Amino acid sequence: MTTPVLRTKLPAVGTTIFTRMSALANEHGAVNLGQGFPDFECDPALPGMVADAMRAGHNQYPAMAGVPLLREAISSKVSALYGRSYDAASEVTVTAGATQAITTAILCCVHPGDEVIVIEPAYDAYAPAIELAGGVMVPVSMQVGEDGYSIPWDKVAAAAGPRTRLIVINSPHNPTGSVLRRADIDALAAIVRGTDILLLSDEVYEHMVYDGAVHESVCRYPELAERAFVVSSFGKTYHVTGWKIGYVAAPAALMAEFRKVHQYYVFTVNTPMQHGIAGYMSDPAPYLELAAFYQRKRDLFRDGLQGSRFSLLPADGTYFQCVRYDAISAIPEADFAEWLTREVKVAAIPVSAFYSQATESGIVRFCFAKKDETLRLALERLAKL
């Protein structure tokens, strides 16, 4: 007997670059600065609160949209930081991670033939979700120069048309570490004004903006917030990426459609963790102090690379640092990342992996969400180049 042939819905998808590079790092004993997760523990008070919730009997299904106490805490946080009041009952949904939030938002609003503008390089979950929805991804490449990456808004405007259903934006931006400024917000608003184009704003690194800059959340701008699904991540904020809990905020009319997909896609999310996070959010210090925490790590890492042959691009947000390596090698990015992992024993991610079409810029991405000793070991090895 043979297994029936299954026609794939995602013919271009294979094992992700993150899985491959992490496996290669393990094989060669390399310091893994590739995949974006911390190698340090979260505040022990947080899992303690989850354990308390379990002991208190919060172990059955919660409300489909999330534990009300957590949704109220999210609404209060967004209001305090960005001045936008989302109704906890109808405009906030807790999700099984930010990627589920992103995929659900795309599935609920993109129909076959609809176009979705994606700014590249881009997080690799956007394109498969668009494909599963039957949509057509329209990529627009960022410009990159000595001042880092920027969005060519004239090209975004040219890409927008009558079939455009959604524009995906991401700030602070993975993988480039760039952030949107007020001028970017104004340019985006001019493009969507007077249209039915929706926005998906991926803001999972919202609390990691450096050098005194302000996170320009879409929530700050009523004109944009009225047409936007805004996504964030507790995993990124609280150093618990393995918990896979995030949330989405959106106007009630958009959220009603989001929840239609959400209830059959995952139904709901881990109950005791929701209660634990809700309790932990009563103190805003952990997320208000996150920028300073990661800026110190960024500066440690950047200072350690100053004497190397890498050219550092600006890192204004996220916990990623992009570098040019043209003074070291002329080989393609994926080959360089593999060579770096095998021979230098430091793993990085090629930025070319974040494009839908082959694009070489001679740039790789490091993650500095690591213990100081991990970063120093990586810097010691990279200094030999």
| Model pLDDT for residues 6-58, shown as the tens digit of each residue | 999 999 888 788 889 999 999 999 999 998 999 999 999 999 999 999 999 99
4 within domain boundaries: no
Identity at 63, one-letter amino acid code: A
The domain total for the chain is 2
Distance (Å, whole) CA 143 – CA 13: 26
pLDDT in tens, 65-105: 999 999 999 999 999 999 999 999 999 999 999 999 999 99
User: What is the DSSP track for 262-330?
Assistant: HHHHT----HHHHHHHHHHTTS-HHHHTHHHHHHHHHHHHHHHHTTSS-EEPP--BTTEEEEE-TTT--
Of the candidates 253, 269, 286, which is a domain's last residue? Answer: 286
Residues 182 and 202 in one domain: yes
> Which among 21, 19, 40, 17 is positioned nearest to 32, based on CA atoms?
21
**Residue 340, in any domain of the structure:** yes
Please check whether residue 8 lies inside any domain of the structure.
no
- 274 and 339 share a domain? no
| Shared domain check, 362 and 324 | yes
Residues 350 and 376 in one domain: yes
355 and 265 within one domain:
no
**Domain membership flag for residue 10:** no
Q: Do residues 156 and 279 both lie within one domain?
A: yes
Domain range for residue 188?
A: 45-286
Residue 338 belongs to some domain of the structure: yes
* Confidence tier at 59 by pLDDT (50, 70, 90): very high
Within a domain: residue 348?
A: yes
Same domain for 57 and 25? no
The domain boundary residue, chosen from 246, 265, 286: 286
**259: helix, coil or strand?**
helix
Query: What is the Cα 249 distance to its own chain's centre?
Result: 16
**pLDDT tens by residue, 288-301:** 999 999 999 999 99
Are 313 and 177 in contact by the 8 Å Cβ rule? The answer is: yes
Instruction: Evaluate whether 104 touches 264 at the Cβ level (below 8 Å).
Output: no
Residue 5 domain-assigned?
no
The answer to whether position 139 is within a domain reads yes
Record the tokens describing residue 10, joined without a space.
């995602």
Same structural domain, 197 and 314: no
